[in-house]
Amino acid sequence: MPDPVSILPAALDLQVISKRFGSVEALSQVSLQVRSGSVHALLGENGAGKTTLMRIAFGMIRPDAGTIRINGVQKKLRAPADAIAAGIGMVHQHFMLAQAMTVAENVVLGGWGKYSVRAAADTVRKLGEKTGLLLDPFAKVSSLPVAAQQRLEIIKALAHKARILILDEPTAVLAPAEARDLLLQIRTLAANGTSVVLITHKLRDAQQVADDVSVLRHGKLILTGAMVDQTEASLVTAMLGTRAELITSGDQGAPATGTPIMSLQNVGVVQRNGVRRLQGIDFEVRGGEIVGVAALEGGATHLLRILAGRYKPTEGVARIPSRVGFIPEDRVRDALVAGFSLYENVALLEGGRRNGRMPWSRIKDETAALLTSFDVRAADINVPAQNLSGGNQQKLVLARELDNNPPALVAENPTRGLDIQSAAAIHQRLRNARENGCAIVFYSSDIEELVSLADRVVVVREGRVRPVAKDADAIGAALLGTSSSQTGFAE
């Protein structure tokens, strides 16, 4: 039980933590305390800053400002090793396990001297008995199901004597039954004196298990306090904010008619390692409409790439035009060649499609025109793409993909990291393309953007695609997995 009276210092005390990545303010003067032996839920949407804050607590990132106190003692954390020494353990969203090695080996990693297989196995077994997180010490990690790998991550942290355990979206990869087990185990851990920070966007999980809660939005702390003092409504409001002013009021546009340009029938994806990503997708996009896709981090990746024709589904039929513009999220890795000039980057698709001479002078003229019409700020068309700022790179990619009016366009977070003006310009471009009959699908982790730009919105959740009302609360709720009579979308 967490101590009811805060006489004792908090297990983890973060004071006025701020962090900036380039021009983006990821965290702005966030302060929160985790009481000893409590479960503290850290809520917020994608990009709110939850993971960043906890990575700072784990020593993976250095804050620009602020202090960290552990059990009342101020600590300077230069690397995860320091955090581990101070008793903090973290289980990340993407597991940090050596797949080819055994459970026991992963658990004792970082030790010294001789390595006794038996001693390591005993450690695993003992911890398993104490916490209920049972594992076979000799199993190879790659053979373990995801839920077991997660248990392993927790055991790892505990084996390093963590008194404060940070879990980053632990139930995101679990089936409902496994998630229930994990939540029970978290309560057991807290009962045994471990303080647990649960980073999650799942309201329900937080309500079930947390003693205290803090909510972040856009890098700022919105509320913090005991869970009993909060209601579902107050938490949702804190996470999503009041109805913010939309960037520009989007017109609805005429309802789309005509034959579908992109159509998926019973499409599914099972990866090589057996993990299922999509199933039973029936989805159509017509010319002249913009469809917004809402999803959790990484959830829409396969769907988007299937729509863009860059990935083949393992099940079902996908009918896609031969030319689909694609704006991937990681523009530097997937859309641009950093060291090549702007005009060469504009010519990428043309280079792929034609044979014979490259009409460079025409391409150069076209590029110059594109730079002007899309307001891409660059010295000239000859500079390497890596010289451009992120926003201008994005505008360039959009310009290239929209050039020559493709029948369809797929975009992944097209305005992420851009300033308001650039974002508005891109939105206008997309609307123009829609007027020209283009079928547009875009994914955004910003719900407000979905509402303002899309004609209709769908949600990708647990591998399925479902339509949802074009309403910020409805979309947010659908992603969070809550049910609400107002949303028209029941869990």
Partner 1 sequence: MMDALGTFLDGAVRTATPLAFAALGETVVERAGIINIGLEGSIICGALGGLIASAAHGTGFAFVMAGLSGTAVALLFAIFVTLLRSNQIITGTAISLFSLGLTGTLYRQMYGPAGAALTISTMHSSPLPFLSRIPLFGQAFFSQPPITYLLYGIVPAIWWWLYRTHAGLALRAVGENPEAAITAGISGRRVQFGAILFGGFMGGLAGGTLVIAQAGTFAEGMSAGRGFIAIAIVVLGRWRPVAVAFAALLFGGANALQYLFQAMGWSVPYQIFLALPYVLTLCGLAGIAGRVHAPASLGKWVETS
Partner 2 sequence: MSGLALLALISDMLVRATPLIFTGLAVAVAFQAGVLNIGAEGQFLVGAAMATTVSLQLGPALGFTVIPIALLAGSAAGALWAWIAAELRSRFHVLEVISTIMLNFVAVYLISFLVRGPLQEPSHVYPQTSSIISSARLPLILPETRLHIGFLIAVAAGVTGWWLLRNTAGGFRLRLTGANPSAAFSAGLIDTERTARNAFLISGALAGLAGSVEVHGVTFALYENLSPGYGYTAIAVALLAGLNPLGVIITGILFGALETGASALQRDAGIPATLVSVIEALIILAVLAAEPLRARGLLRRDVTSVVQAAEPG
Which residues contact partner 2 by CB under 8 A? Answer: 271-272, 298, 301-302, 305, 310-311, 326, 328, 333-340, 344, 347-358, 360, 397, 400
112 binds, among partner 2, partner 1, none (CB under 5 to 8 A by kind): partner 1
Q: Which is nearer to partner 2, 401 or 455 (CB)?
A: 401
Site string for partner 1, 274-303 (x = CB under 8 A): ------------------------------
Give the SS3 label for residue 60. Answer: coil
Which amino acid is located at 146 in the chain? Answer: V
* Residue from 24, 117, 175, 317 in contact with partner 1 (CB under 8 A): 117
Please tell me whether residue 97 binds partner 1 under the rule CB under 8 A.
Answer: yes
User: Using CA of residue 291, residue 297, residue 299, residue 303, what is the dihedral sign?
Assistant: positive
79 binds, among partner 2, partner 1, none (CB under 5 to 8 A by kind): partner 1
357 binds, among partner 2, partner 1, none (CB under 5 to 8 A by kind): partner 2
**Contact residues for 280 (Cβ-Cβ < 8 A; gap 6+):** 266, 267, 268, 316, 464
Q: Which is nearer to partner 2, 458 or 472 (CB)?
A: 458
Going by their DSSP bridges, the two strands 220-226 and 73-75 should be labelled as unpaired
114 binds, among partner 2, partner 1, none (CB under 5 to 8 A by kind): partner 1
225 binds, among partner 2, partner 1, none (CB under 5 to 8 A by kind): none
Please tell me whether residue 90 binds partner 1 under the rule CB under 8 A.
Answer: yes
Q: Which is nearer to partner 2, 309 or 417 (CB)?
A: 309
Please tell me whether residue 146 binds partner 1 under the rule CB under 8 A.
Answer: no
Are 347 and 336 within 8 A, CB to CB? no
Spatial CA neighbour of 285 closest among 439, 107, 113: 439
Are 66 and 76 within 8 A, CB to CB? no
Listed ranges 74-82, 259-267, 431-439, 454-462: which one lies at the site for partner 1 (CB under 8 A): 74-82
Q: Which is nearer to partner 1, 162 or 458 (CB)?
A: 162
* Residue from 79, 226, 246, 383 in contact with partner 1 (CB under 8 A): 79
Site string for partner 1, 33-72 (x = CB under 8 A): ---------------------------x------------
The helix (H) or strand (E) run that includes residue 134 is: none
Beta-carbon count within 10 A of 123 CB: 18
* Residue from 17, 42, 57, 84 in contact with partner 1 (CB under 8 A): 84
* Residue from 24, 78, 110, 436 in contact with partner 1 (CB under 8 A): 110
Site residues for partner 1, window 153-182 (CB under 8 A)? 160
84 binds, among partner 1, partner 2, none (CB under 5 to 8 A by kind): partner 1
272 binds, among partner 2, partner 1, none (CB under 5 to 8 A by kind): partner 2
Spatial CA neighbour of 454 closest among 252, 203, 218, 315: 252
Contacts 24+ apart (CB under 8 A), 142-147: 142/99, 142/100, 144/103, 146/173, 146/174, 147/173, 147/174, 147/175, 147/178, 147/181, 147/182
- DSSP string over 265-328: EEEEEE-TTS-EEEEEEEEEEETT-EEEEEESTTTTHHHHHHHTTSS--SEEEEE--S-EEEE-
Q: What's the token pair of residue 15?
A: 């004071």
Q: Which is nearer to partner 1, 95 or 311 (CB)?
A: 95
Please, which residues bridge with residue 327 across strands?
411
Give the SS3 label for residue 165. Answer: strand
354 binds, among partner 2, partner 1, none (CB under 5 to 8 A by kind): partner 2
Nearest approach in angstroms of CB 263 to partner 2 is 20
φ and ψ at residue 338, rounded to 5 degrees: -55, -40
60 binds, among partner 2, partner 1, none (CB under 5 to 8 A by kind): partner 1
Please tell me whether residue 115 binds partner 1 under the rule CB under 8 A.
Answer: yes
The CA distance from 37 to 39, in Å, is 7
The CA distance from 86 to 481, in Å, is 36
Give the residues lining the site for partner 1 (CB under 8 A).
Answer: 60, 79-81, 84-85, 90, 92, 96-101, 105-106, 108-117, 160
